[in-house]
Amino acid sequence: MKLVVGLGNPGAAYEGSPHNVGFAAADVLARRVNASFRESSRFRAAVAKGVLAGEPVAVMKPLTYMNASGEAVGAWIRWNRLTVADLVVVLDDVDLELGRLRIRQRGGSGGHKGLASVVLHAGSDAFVRVRLGVGRGMAAPGEDVVAHVLRPFRGAQLETATAMAERAADAVEAMIEFGVERAMNRYNTVAAAGEKTE
């Protein structure tokens, strides 16, 4: 079984915000596997189970709030006797322009507290992460990064973010079906407008 985790914050106040693009991608994946999220008090997460690209998959949205996301992930991994090789984490990245994807097979948190929590509770950083660009350059004049990632997308930004969530789901499906390297080759080079970048 693969565990695909979208990072975000629970609650209507955070819906549609840059910090919740991981949740948006998880919602897309749940629709694709024709499953509904069910809240689990054991794991403090909402989980949808199905089959993606022929592989059993659990799509998770931790309900612990972003900075404690790893608690839900670690509990699920231990309970189901998975390893970090079975884990894919989808999250926002302010250092990527809005609409860009970047798949990595391991690495540090890059200052992302939700990802740092997953690394801590999973006991390793050797898992795939799909970073979704939310561009600090998209912040309003004088707005700090924290305010930017918690402010809902609007207009053209929302359209780009919605398309990015769909493409993130495509990338997860591709890595399950064809492997991480092929998914990286395809999706790490695609920009928001769908054009190749240098």
Residue of 19, 112, 121, 148 with catalytic role: 19
pLDDT in tens, 105-150: 988 877 899 999 999 999 999 999 999 999 876 656 666 677 777 7
121 is catalytic: no
Each of the 198 residues of the chain gets a pLDDT tens digit; together they read 999 999 999 999 999 998 999 999 999 999 999 999 999 999 999 999 999 999 999 999 999 999 999 999 999 999 999 999 999 999 999 889 999 999 999 888 778 999 999 999 999 999 999 999 998 766 566 666 777 777 888 899 999 999 999 999 999 999 999 999 999 999 997 554 444 433
Q: How many CA atoms lie within 13 A of 198 on its CB side?
A: 0
Determine the CATH number of domain 2-187: 3.40.50.1470
**pLDDT value for 198:** 36
Residue type, 134: V
Angle CA 166–125–66, to nearest 5 = 55
